[in-house]
Structure 1
Amino acid sequence: MADAQQTEIRTERNLFQALKVYAHPRVVGMAFLGFSAGLPLMLVGATFTAWLRDLGVELAAIGFLSWVGMAHSIKFLWAPVVDRLALPGLTRLFGRRRSWMLAAQVTIAIGLLGMALTDPTENLMLVAVLAVMTAFGSATQDIAIDAYRVEAVKRERQGAMAATYVAGYRVAMLTAIAGALNIAGMSNWTMAYGAMALLMGVGIITTLIIREPEVTVDRMTLAMEEKVMNYLDRTHHLGWRRDFNAWFIGAVICPFADFMKRFGAIALLVLLFVATFRISDIFMGVMAQPFYLDLGFSKSQIGNISGAFGLAMTLTGAAMAGVLVARFGISRMLIFTAFMAPATNLTFAWLAGLGPEIHGLVIAIIADNITGGLAIGVFIAYLSSLTNTAYTATQYALFSSLMTLPGQFAAGFTGMLAAKVDWMWFFIITAGTGIPAIVLAIILARIANPDRINRPGMSG
């Protein structure tokens, strides 16, 4: 009896210690940075297209302008600049990460304010330029915030950092869609985009309050950088060519060489796992809305259950990720979420057979969104464990792009698949696409356990 009571006390203590992770100041601050990151995404995406159409802009022009959002898919191209280039004045005052965050946030706010003050029907080209400016500012902010999140805390707090980031991000997306549309409906689009520009103050104030993360460079990285300097000492290039070579090797070549050197023969397995982990989720997500409509659910039912209720479930899953990673570690949670992500696709196969029953939709949304929030939180913690803090921005931008690009490209063919098979078989097939990630998660847990990976450069 006494042993059982002691076990129960230890369990409660472990749970309490796991929950305490959310009280860390940097974990709390990440929610506000997540809000700042999520706000501009829809303002150059879905809300942007709604604004243009509402004012009578032609569909062809709207289609071309949707390309501005591609900045987030190619952000790895200028991540080395964010990683290594010091901003005159700002970097000295705020540090490497905060200076880029602040510059990006101010750029976004100016871009949104400019859009608010410009009429697309009179000067569509200027609106397009301001939207591109906002999108690139948003993608650059993502690079800097991702790097800060990885460097700011120890591995056991990465799940909580991911959870609060996802929470802030999702709330901001809802604000940028529902909030902006409601303001535009009650007033006008100038007020809507003006209000969103003011809300970027959340990120700016947070950036000014937080401290720059303390990182160190490990011996292996110093040795590699010393080889670069030795090479430059031997080169015949002078002036700008020598300076450019120094920057390019240090900012572009070294991050990839570092990753390959640390992981060796299993590096390709790690990259393959990153590329396949979210495929089943992305495949299912593309066809979710058409599926609900085809099944017979009304637009209001879809909006209320998959939208607002779904957001609450996603945030619940993300919060669970922070606690569970702190309690059980990244490796076991990776295997669990790699299995659960495709498994929840089967609830939609069940819903397809059940028909337009509200309770069925609620169950499917609970299963999918809690699992989705949990998987995103755990996977962000995993990606963080792969980086070297000497090259955080470059390496994390590569991983995050690799995480979505293959699935997004392949998802373009899901409409053809859905047209050839019924909905039940469609979701069964998409569940099957998650099998490679499950197998790779188990293999990597044995040969490259993320809880035992030494993340270079962490000082505390």
Structure 2
Amino acid sequence: MRISPRKVGLLGALYFVQGLPFGFQSTALPVYLRSSGVSLMTISMVGLLAAPWMAKALWAPLVDRYGSERLGRRKSWILPMQAGLAATCAAAAFVPVPGALPLLLGLIFLMNLFAATQDIAVDGLAVDLLEPRELGWGNSAQVVGYKLGMLTGGGLLVWAVDVIGWRGLFLSMSFLSLLVLGVAALVREPRPVAEGTATERPSWTEVRDRLLTAVRLPGTGWVLLFIGTYKLGESMADVLFKPFLVDAGFSAGQIGQWVGTWGTVASLLGSAVGGMLVSRMPLLGALALATALRVFPLGGQWWLALEGPTSSGVIAVTMAEHFFGGVLTTALFAFMMSRVDRRIGATHYTLLASVEVLGKSPGGPIAGLLASRAGWSYANVFLLATVLSVAFAVLLLPLRQRPSSSTRPLSPQV
């Protein structure tokens, strides 16, 4: 199959940069804060800094509707967001912790705001540019590029923190953002070529009417409920797992290597396996299998907290957690794409993605309250997370029994 390396390379680079701040926040920031003496309650609340990823559907129609035709509808959003991301990363390098913790957290919030807004534009760019025969490669660029960004921001740079320091980590993120900004600025935005994609800007009425039609499809309420809850238990365990390792005596370099680097590599492999699973099984069957397999590594975290963590145990559980998490994420995203009306692809997919992020956001604060205020042990929180993951998996049963009514799929796999 012939593809356009230029398109796939550009999308992969843009998704890579969007993964940098989220990788840092989810993996490196808890280690950074705990190493600086910040409380578990504060660390458990940092997930709220990802609020722009939850709320981006509110301004997604603006990104679809406005933009300079001369510069490029999507580039006129991508370039300033990229510049803002580079500037906030550079500024964060000079903010001390804990002396100016609110300022640091505010800058990380802005990183997420710039990255989330760019994500809307890049999703729109992908829908505009990819021909049907290129969609599979476009999906690969999205998942692999984003996870490589997370690997860099939450793993490789943390692994090197003993050499470059935390300031060097932030400056490295800023440099990588500027590098991709230069690439995006030099590339001329091609005209939309995807089948079924309008070449003119959709009106507000058209966006609204198409979204309302999509929301009213049979079974949509149950779909949104599952998308919003499938990772709640996982998010509860994840927010405390890195502090758990710090309190157990592991160094920042070890945690960055195991969780941020090797874990992300396992996640990339899981994402590839998830794509194969989706292509060879009925979509809901693949999603159900991935959901069931994801429960086992969560139980492994509970076992580590009960028996005491060892290096080999942490590595095994971390690799399994990220691998099966990658399988599940790919299956879930394929399912979401099967529900998207590609005529408003960026806005519709952004809505579903926002529900996914919003649904798992309460997990961190709940886990923090249980651990710091209610006095729950790490083991008890990890056990609750495992039980909740099993409970929410049951939401799949009505979906499997109900025929799927969807609009034109975004991906040929689904």
Do they superpose with TM above 0.5? Answer: yes
Per-residue deviation, 1:161: 4.2
Q: Which residue of 2 aligns with 1:242?
A: none
1:159, 1:381 within 8 Å by CA — same for their partners in 2? no
Q: Which residue of 2 aligns with 1:455?
A: 409
Q: Superposed, which structure 2 residues align to 1:356-395 within 5 Å?
A: 356-395=309-348
Per-residue deviation, 1:136: 3.0
Residues 80-115 of structure 1: CA distance to partner in whole angstroms, max 9, x if unpaired? 101222x23xx3453x43443234224434555676
- From 329, 349, 365, the equivalent of 1:396 is 349
Inter-partner Cα distance in structure 1 for 2:401 and 2:150? 38
- From 258, 262, 273, the equivalent of 2:213 is 258
Say which SS state the counterpart of residue 214 (structure 1) adopts: coil
2:197, 2:342 within 8 Å by CA — same for their partners in 1? no
Inter-partner Cα distance in structure 2 for 1:376 and 1:148? 22
Asked if 1:348 is matched to 2:329, the reply is no
Say which SS state the counterpart of residue 413 (structure 1) adopts: helix
- From 143, 150, 173, the equivalent of 2:120 is 143
- From 271, 276, 281, the equivalent of 1:318 is 271
Q: Which residue of 2 aligns with 1:228?
A: none
Inter-partner Cα distance in structure 1 for 2:279 and 2:134? 7
Per-residue deviation, 1:283: 1.9
2:342, 2:408 within 8 Å by CA — same for their partners in 1? no
- From 42, 45, 54, the equivalent of 1:73 is 54
Say which SS state the counterpart of residue 455 (structure 1) adopts: coil
Query: What is the letter of the counterpart of residue 297 of structure 2?
Result: T
Asked if 1:214 is matched to 2:174, the reply is no
Inter-partner Cα distance in structure 2 for 1:424 and 1:320? 30
Per-residue deviation, 1:43: 7.0
Q: 1:194 to 1:353 in 2, by over 3 A?
A: closer
Q: Which residue of 1 aligns with 2:147?
A: 170
Query: What is the letter of the counterpart of residue 72 of structure 1?
Result: W
Asked if 1:196 is matched to 2:177, the reply is no
Q: Superposed, which structure 2 residues align to 1:35-46 within 5 Å?
A: 35-41=16-22
Q: Which residue of 2 aligns with 1:33?
A: 14
Q: Which residue of 1 aligns with 2:39?
A: none
TM-score normalised by structure 1 residue count = 0.69
Per-residue deviation, 1:49: 10
Query: What is the letter of the counterpart of residue 143 of structure 2?
Result: V
Inter-partner Cα distance in structure 2 for 1:127 and 1:209? 35
Inter-partner Cα distance in structure 2 for 1:331 and 1:303? 34
Query: What is the letter of the counterpart of residue 148 of structure 1?
Result: L
Inter-partner Cα distance in structure 2 for 1:457 and 1:65? 34
Query: What is the letter of the counterpart of residue 74 of structure 1?
Result: A
| Structure 1 portions without partners, runs of 5+ | 1-19, 56-61, 226-245
Per-residue deviation, 1:388: 1.5
Percent identity over the alignment is 25
| Structure 2 portions without partners, runs of 5+ | 37-42
Query: What is the letter of the counterpart of residue 170 of structure 1?
Result: K
Say which SS state the counterpart of residue 409 (structure 2) adopts: coil
Task: Please identify the structure whose Cα radius of gyration is greater.
Answer: 1
Query: What is the letter of the counterpart of residue 140 of structure 1?
Result: T
Say which SS state the counterpart of residue 269 (structure 1) adopts: helix
RMSD: 4.7
- From 76, 82, 88, the equivalent of 1:105 is 82
Moved more, 336-345 or 145-154: 145-154
Say which SS state the counterpart of residue 343 (structure 2) adopts: coil
Asked if 1:335 is matched to 2:335, the reply is no
Inter-partner Cα distance in structure 1 for 2:71 and 2:340? 26
2:86, 2:177 within 8 Å by CA — same for their partners in 1? yes
Q: 1:212 to 1:281 in 2, by over 3 A?
A: farther
Q: 1:68 to 1:260 in 2, by over 3 A?
A: closer
Residues 399-432 of structure 1: CA distance to partner in whole angstroms, max 9, x if unpaired? 1121122321244122444556555554343222
Q: 1:359 to 1:52 in 2, by over 3 A?
A: closer
Query: What is the letter of the counterpart of residue 328 of structure 1?
Result: M
Query: What is the letter of the counterpart of residue 116 of structure 2?
Result: A
Residues 342-386 of structure 1: CA distance to partner in whole angstroms, max 9, x if unpaired? 233122233344433333223212221100112122222222222
